[in-house]
Structure formats: C-alpha cells, structure tokens
Structure 1
Amino acid sequence: MRISTNLFHSQGLNSIQNHQQNVLDAQLQLSTGKKINAPSDDPVGLSQVHALNRTMNTIDQYAENGAYAKNQLAQEETAITDSIESLQRVRELSIQMLNGTYSAENRQQTAEEIDQIIKQQLSMMNYRNSDGELLFAGNSVNQQAAFIEDPNNPGYYAYIGSPQGVAAAATPEQAAEYNLANYGARFVQIGFDDDNRLGADDQGDAARVRITDNGGKVFQVDGNSTPAGVDANILNSLIVLRDSLLAGDPPPEAVVNDIDSSLDQLNTVRAEIGGRQNRIETQYNAGESFKLSLEERRMELEETDVVQGVTDLTKSQNALQMAQQVFTKVNGMSLFDYLR
C-alpha cells in the first residue's frame, strides 16, 4: 500500500467532517424532536410513519362521521319522542270519548284538539334535519315531503314510497324517485370494516350506521281503522278519529288499536335509534384506543429520546474534539516522521 503525507491529511479531514456531521445530526434531532428529518435518515421508518399517520387521520375522520351521525340521530329521536307524546295524548282523549257520559258537543270540541295534533304529527313525519334532508323518507331525502296529500283519497295522506304515494307522482321520473323511499337510507362510515367501503345498507355491520329511516315502516299501523285503499299510517288513523268525533260519534275501537300499535312501533324505533347511538360510541372508543397504540408506535419510530439525544450529541462532540486534536498533530508530521 502506498502511503503519503496527503493520505494522513485526507483521512484526518474526513474524520473531522464525519464527526461534524454527526454533531449536526444530533443537534437537528434535538431541535426538531424527531429522529427522522429527511428520507435518507430512515427510509423504511419514514414509510411506516406515513402509513401510521394515514391510519390515524382515517380514525379521526370516522370520529367526525360518528359525531355527525349522533347529531342526526338525536334529531330523529326528538321527532319520534314528540310523536309518542302526541299519540299518548290522543290515546287518553280517545279513551275518554268512549265514555258514554260525554256528549256529541264534547266530542266535537275534542276533535279540534285532535286536529291540532294531526298538524303537529304531519310536521314530525315530514321532519327535516339540519342539512334540510327528510329524516323519514328512506333514500328520497330531497323530496318535498315524506308524506303527501293523497289525490286519489282526498283528505288523507300517503307515504311517498307507498303504492298510493307512487301513484300520486306527476311523472314517471318522479314516481321512480318516490319509489326510492323504500330502498336504502342515508348511511355513514364510523369505523374500519372488511373492505373499508360504504355499502347500500349496514347489513348488521357495526362500522356503518343509518341516519335516516323509512317513514312507511316507522309510522305504519295495522290499518283496521282506515278506509280501503288508504295508506295505513298513523296520520290517517288520526284523521278517521277526528272525523268520527266531529260527527259526534265515539272513537272507533279500531282507531284505538291502531294508536296502540303505532306507539309500540315508535317505541321500538326509538330503542333502535338508541342502539345506533351506542354503536357510534363503541366505535369511537375503539378507534381512540387503536389510535393511541398507533401513536405510541409512531413516537418510537419518529420522535427523539431527549436523554439519548443529549448523550449522542455529547459523544459526537467529544469525538469531534479528539479528531481535531489528532488532526492538528498529524498535520504537522511528514512521511519521514511516520517512517521513523
């Protein structure tokens, strides 16, 4: 091997430059708090950090989706609760009016209160959320109403997805839109699932939650009190009750039965809404726990241990100082000194 004075000089200079770079790297890690400040620092580690960040961002988006869904479900729960309270009042009045001590005039006066409840109930059944979408129109959330006047049965109302509602459409296109009220609903993704895609319905998947409902099912009754061909919903049963009282007659027993069946159905829907809200909370807690473990892993990969960083900086500074001292001595030597 050929040895020259330049070799001593180059080796010493390279050593100093390497130690200087080590000092700069240690100082940068301490100042930024990160071990990875450039792709070249740790290409594999940086790729893992990016993947972890993407996953945590997705979890945050699911949490936002869940908050939105809870808000929508709270509005639906309010509408259902108001309907239940109104129907409970109607039931009390109906049972009262069955008593033979009440006159035709008393029943007509009660019919006025029933008429006000009908208007309130219609408003609840056509309730819109904060985005202006119908809560009880299945997947037809942007229609004028979920329950419309039935032109073929004047004085009564039909769910837009019912045969009576579809028949009331002005055009075939509108009929197709009305028919969508029976299919699907509004869903949001609140967690990871098998394919991480939103489907047509939740299919029992806890990762998806429904935020609108099919009004035809929510407000459906047995229909024993309504005339033939009229949509069997609670609103029409109330209309039959009102008209009977206006005529001075006692309430038909079938109306009371329909009110009872509607109350059972609405309470079932309200309980199911509570179940959806619980699913959202469960998914949120699971997401936060998962995100915590991901954050710990990201910190291991990316963030600097301050104590270790200070130790590494001190070692690099000492090594640099020693390299500089050695270089100073070696720089003053010649090849003859080396041979001697």
Structure 2
Amino acid sequence: MRISTSQFHSQGVTSIQRHQEDILKTQLQLSTGKRVNAPGDDPVALSQINALKSTMSTIDQFAKNGDYAKSQLVLEETAIGDSISSIQRARELAIQMSNDTYNASNRAQAAAEVGQIIEQMRNMMNYSNSEGEKIFAGSSVNVEQAFVPDPRNPGYYAYVGSPQSDQTALTTATAVALDVQANYGSRFVQIGFDDNDYLEADDFGDASRVRITDNGSAVFKTDGNSVAVDGVFVTDGPVDNNILNTMVSLKNFLEAGERPPDELILDMDSALENLSFVRAEIGGRQNRIESQYDGGETFKLALEERRMNLEETDIVKGITDLTQQQNALQMAQQVFTRVSEMSLFNYLR
C-alpha cells in the first residue's frame, strides 16, 4: 500500500485541528461554566434543560401570583376587620340605648354616631384595590359600587347583583339584576400547577387557585330579621338582608327616639359571626398560598439540581481534560514535524 507525502501531511493537519477544537471547546466550557453551550454539544440534554428552565420560570410566576394574591387578601382582611370594629361599636350603642334610662335626646345623639358608622361601613363594603377594582363585588370588579342605594326603599342599600338594585325593575314585571355577574364566582389567581385549565364559577376547592375577591351579599349578610321599613320589620320582602341596612334601621329607631328592638342586636350578632368566619377563611387562603410557595420552592430546588447536572461543567474534570488535550495537541504537532521530515529528498542530499 502506498501512502503519499500529501496524505501524511493531510492526516497530520486534521489531527492537530481536531485537538485544537477539543481544547477550544473545553476552554469555552471552563469560561462559561456550562457543559452545553450550543445545540451540537448535546441535543438531548439541551432539550431537557430548556424544559426545566421553562418549568422553573412557571414556578417563579406562580410565586409572583401568590404575592399579588396575598396583597389583595390583606386589603380584604383589613376591610373586614374595620367592619367588625364598626359593628361592635354599633352593637354597644344599640344595647346602651335599649336601656329606658336614656331619653329621646340621648338616642338622637347616638343616631348621629350610628350615621357615621354607616358611612364607614359603606366605604368598607365598597372597598377598592389600587387598580380601582371592587373586592366585594364578586366577578364584577369594575362596577362603581358593590352596594348601591336601593331604588325601592330610599335610605337603604342593595347589593349590586340583587334584584333590589335594578332600576329598570321598577317599571318591568320581572326583576332582573343590575349586574348578574356579581353573583357568579369571584376572581381567582393561579398559584400552582393544575391538571386542567377549566375554572367553574364556584371553584372553591382547587388548591392550584386562590380567590382574591368575594361576593359582598354573602360576606355582609345577616339573618334578615332587623330591616324595618316605616317602623315595620320586613323579614321576607324587597329589602336586602345586609348589615348596612341593619345599621340604617338602628339609626331610624334612634332618630325617632325609640328603644332599639332586640332584632337589631341579633342581626348584628349574626353579621359579626359571619364576618369572623369569612376572615378566618381568608386566613386559610393566605396559608394555602404559603404552602403552595413552599412546595414550589422545594420542587424548584430539585429541578435546579437536575439542570446543573445536565448543563454545568465539572471544573476539576474540565481542567484535567484540558491538560490531556493540550498534551495530545503537543504530541500531534511533534509527530507532524517528524513525519514532515520523512522525504526521499532528505536522503538524497
């Protein structure tokens, strides 16, 4: 078999170039700290790395969603806490003014304070977040008010999703809610992975989502025994059974110099019990956000470890490989030099 001088030369150059490429690749891995720097380095590993990074990015987004949800729940919790304090003060006045030692003048003075409590309660029940969205209007967060003046009963208030709030119902045979969407579900925020993207209006049990608004008619409801129209209690009529209307009834009795009836106190008790339950449920949602965050961070650590094993280079091994490759290059260069001298002309001189 004949081997030409040009073939010797070509093989020697190819060997040197291959070793130089290996050295450059190892130097790049050591400088970047990554084993995979291009698709050609390891296509399978690169695909897995991209999938892991996408999953970790999703977990980070869930954490941000959780922070937003917690900020909204803090607003709701604050509004409910202020409402509870206001109701407790109104209840104290109601019990105090029930005593026959107080006269009509005393009760009129108490009515003025109850009027201020009504304004405070109305502000809390129509509370908005920083984006101007109502937190007690169900899914209709962009309404002007969650509790609007009742067109049928001046001085009283109706939830925006109830038939009592509809102006057009005054002239039509069938009452239609002014904003039907206020009665369907609430706003939810995704805080974890889910096996589907389907969300129902009453999706309370899905741990991957958390509710950040509530239906005001459910939050501020009473047993409905204390709303009085023209001094007559309405237990089953066209008046919303909410705590704001209970306050209005209390104010009307006090302004008339009359002793507040026991029904008022009973309904305030029921409202306090309901608000305390809602506040506890909000605390449960906040705890669920924390649990989802902790679980996400644990999962993220496992994914990060897997990514590092796939993508990052072993510095010690890289330095060892680089030394071996440099030695191999040096040997290839020496061999090429010696082979280049193997010519017949060198023996004819």
Structure 2 CA distance, aligned partners of 1:249 and 1:263?
24
Structure 2 CA distance, aligned partners of 1:121 and 1:225?
17
The secondary structure found in structure 1 opposite 2:189 is: strand
Deviates more, 1:281-290 or 1:193-202: 193-202
Q: Does 1:244 align with 2:245?
A: no
Deviates more, 1:197-206 or 1:104-113: 197-206
2:269 is aligned to 260
- Alignment gaps of 5+ in structure 1: none
Structure 2 CA distance, aligned partners of 1:54 and 1:106?
68
2:240 is aligned to 231
Alignment TM-score, normalising by the size of structure 2: 0.92
Aligned residues: 336
Identity between Structure 1 and Structure 2 (%): 65
CA contact (8 A) 1:185 1:211 kept: yes
Deviates more, 1:77-86 or 1:95-104: 95-104
1:166 is aligned to 166
2:31 is aligned to 31
1:219 is aligned to 220
1:185 is aligned to 186
1:15 is aligned to 15
1:77 is aligned to 77
Structure 1 CA distance, aligned partners of 2:12 and 2:207?
65
Structure 1 CA distance, aligned partners of 2:149 and 2:121?
14
Cα deviation, residue 2, structure 1: 4.0
Cα deviation, residue 6, structure 1: 2.3
What amino acid sits opposite 1:5 in the alignment? T
The secondary structure found in structure 2 opposite 1:209 is: strand
Cα deviation, residue 336, structure 1: 10
Structure 2 CA distance, aligned partners of 1:136 and 1:50?
41
Q: Does 1:331 align with 2:332?
A: no
Structure 2 CA distance, aligned partners of 1:40 and 1:245?
84
Q: Does 1:274 align with 2:275?
A: no
- Alignment gaps of 5+ in structure 2: 228-233
Structure 2 CA distance, aligned partners of 1:168 and 1:220?
24
Structure 2 CA distance, aligned partners of 1:252 and 1:168?
34
What amino acid sits opposite 1:124 in the alignment? M
Structure 1 CA distance, aligned partners of 2:246 and 2:28?
76
CA contact (8 A) 1:30 1:304 kept: yes
Cα deviation, residue 168, structure 1: 5.5
1:135 is aligned to 135
CA contact (8 A) 2:163 2:178 kept: no
Q: RMSD between aligned alpha carbons? A: 2.0
1:286–1:335 Cα change, 3 Å = farther
Structure with the largest fraction of helix: 1
CA contact (8 A) 1:91 1:256 kept: yes
What amino acid sits opposite 2:278 in the alignment? V
